[in-house]
């Protein structure tokens, strides 16, 4: 598949999203799918939240173009590297189910558990369609390690996690759509260079749709992704990463997407730990995410988003280097990733709630021990003195 066909796919996704967004915004106002300002939200005015519909239209037009042209003129696109074990129509159904669950939530605010079960259904459909992480090369020896039936719950967890990672980071204007574009760009480069045409096609469509949506979503936003858009983009990103894993059985193939999406992954992980330690539901909302922390440090929305873009680009470049460079320098790149992640967590205090709880327990124990020692010392002094205080 020549480069200009990839450009055409990306352009169709971009133009389709741009054309559909104004129509979707009017629809959102008509059906009442509006985010009004409150104590938890950043926006200070009502914003329509059905942007995911426009993104879905852009993606559908781009991927539909590939399906139609390849069906009518298979020699024209000359798509090679498709995996015969994957039912791509089934994958399309899975994408639609994930989008539909988010759309229903945007319209009717369904319960978190219902939304979660719907996400699992979408992931199960993808697994049944052949998108499955079932085996990998033995990193300690020769041969392949097959994880058997564990592959199904593992893949479902991975896909649902990716969908929610993007949903949770979607808190500032342009943040989620921009991060997905950056991650998709890195995955496109890796997929194209390694012959993964299925992943490359979906990745370039994601880039086009996200860039098109950013015309309306970057600060100050006129429309939000909503759950329909955030879940769709996160799920699509997870699928793209697994397309490559199904083909290349190296364990590093699964870790690279996690590094590329490092910022939202870190934010989600620390959020889950924080909520579990405080006795809250992992589905509950708060204002302790990474982007909220930047705002609390005095950065504007626009600056915060650009900083997170920059960090994501750094992690994406490091991930590409880890894959492409087979020399001992790979260890250096991995160490740099660890340092960047550690500094990000430390500087924003993403684990401060958990650590504060730990230090409070240690401080309380130390205070109790000090009071005990003071009491014992006082008893000793009273026992060695008479009633007038003179030594016996």
Q: pLDDT at position 363, please?
A: 46
Q: Is 98 left (phi over 0), alpha (psi -120 to 50) or beta?
A: alpha
Q: Count Cα neighbours of 308 within 13 Å in the Cβ-side half-sphere.
A: 36
Is residue 94 within 8 A of residue 264, CB to CB? The reply is no
> What is the rounded CA–CA span in Å between residue 25 and residue 340?
38
Is residue 206 within 8 A of residue 138, CB to CB? The reply is no
> What is the rounded CA–CA span in Å between residue 196 and residue 289?
34
The residues with which 123 forms a beta bridge, in sequence order, are none
Q: pLDDT at position 345, please?
A: 73
pTM of the full predicted structure?
0.81
pLDDT (tens place) for every residue of the chain, 392 residues total:
678 889 999 999 999 999 999 999 999 999 988 888 776 666 678 899 999 999 999 999 999 999 998 888 777 777 776 777 889 999 999 999 999 999 999 999 898 899 999 999 999 999 999 888 876 666 566 666 777 888 899 999 989 988 988 887 887 888 899 999 998 998 898 888 877 888 899 999 999 999 999 999 998 889 999 999 999 999 999 999 888 654 554 556 567 777 877 777 777 777 777 666 766 665 666 566 666 677 777 778 888 889 889 888 988 888 888 877 777 887 888 888 888 878 877 776 666 655 555 444 544 544 555 565 556 566 555 555 444 444 43
Q: pLDDT at position 366, please?
A: 47
> What is the rounded CA–CA span in Å between residue 195 and residue 105?
37
Here the tokens at position 192 are 């194209």
**Chain centroid to CA 321: how far?**
21
Give the H/E segment covering residue 146: strand 144-146
The one-character DSSP state at 39 is S
Q: pLDDT at position 270, please?
A: 72
Quickly count helices (H) and strands (E) in the chain. Answer: 15, 4
């Amino acid at each position: 598949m020549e480069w200009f066909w990839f450009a055409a796919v990306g352009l169709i996704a971009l133009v389709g999203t741009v054309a559909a967004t104004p129509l979707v915004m009017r629809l959102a106002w008509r059906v009442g799918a509006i985010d009004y300002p409150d104590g938890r939200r950043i926006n200070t005015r009502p914003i329509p939240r059905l942007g995911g519909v426009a993104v879905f239209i852009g993606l559908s037009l781009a991927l539909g173009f590939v399906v139609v042209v390849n069906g009518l003129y298979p020699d024209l696109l000359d798509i090679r590297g498709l995996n015969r074990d994957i039912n791509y129509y089934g994958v399309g159904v899975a994408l639609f189910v994930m989008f539909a669950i988010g759309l229903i939530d945007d319209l009717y605010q369904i319960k978190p558990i219902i939304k979660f079960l719907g996400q699992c259904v979408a992931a199960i459909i993808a697994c049944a369609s052949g998108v499955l992480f079932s085996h990998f090369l033995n990193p300690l020896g020769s041969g392949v390690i097959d994880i058997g039936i564990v592959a199904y719950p593992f893949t479902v967890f991975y896909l649902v996690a990716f969908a929610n990672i993007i949903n949770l980071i979607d808190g500032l204007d342009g943040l989620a759509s921009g991060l997905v574009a950056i991650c998709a760009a890195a995955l496109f480069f890796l997929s194209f260079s390694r012959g993964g045409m299925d992943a490359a096609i979906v990745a370039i469509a994601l880039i086009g749709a996200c860039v098109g949506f950013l015309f309306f979503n970057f600060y100050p936003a006129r429309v939000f992704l909503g759950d329909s858009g955030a879940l769709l983009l996160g799920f699509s990103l997870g699928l793209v990463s697994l397309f490559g894993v199904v083909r290349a059985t190296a364990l590093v193939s699964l870790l690279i997407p996690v590094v590329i999406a490092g910022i939202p992954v870190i934010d989600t992980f620390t959020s889950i730990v924080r909520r579990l330690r405080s006795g809250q539901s992992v589905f509950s909302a708060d204002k302790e995410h990474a982007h909220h922390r930047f705002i609390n440090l005095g950065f504007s929305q626009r600056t915060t988003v650009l900083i997170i873009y920059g960090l994501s680009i750094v992690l994406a470049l490091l991930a590409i280097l880890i894959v492409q460079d087979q020399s001992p320098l790979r260890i250096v790149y991995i160490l740099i990733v660890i340092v960047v992640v550690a500094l990000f967590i430390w500087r924003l205090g993403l684990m401060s709630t958990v650590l504060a709880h730990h230090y409070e327990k240690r401080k309380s124990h130390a205070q109790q021990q000090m009071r005990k020692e003071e009491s014992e010392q006082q008893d000793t002094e009273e026992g060695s003195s008479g009633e007038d205080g003179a030594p016996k």
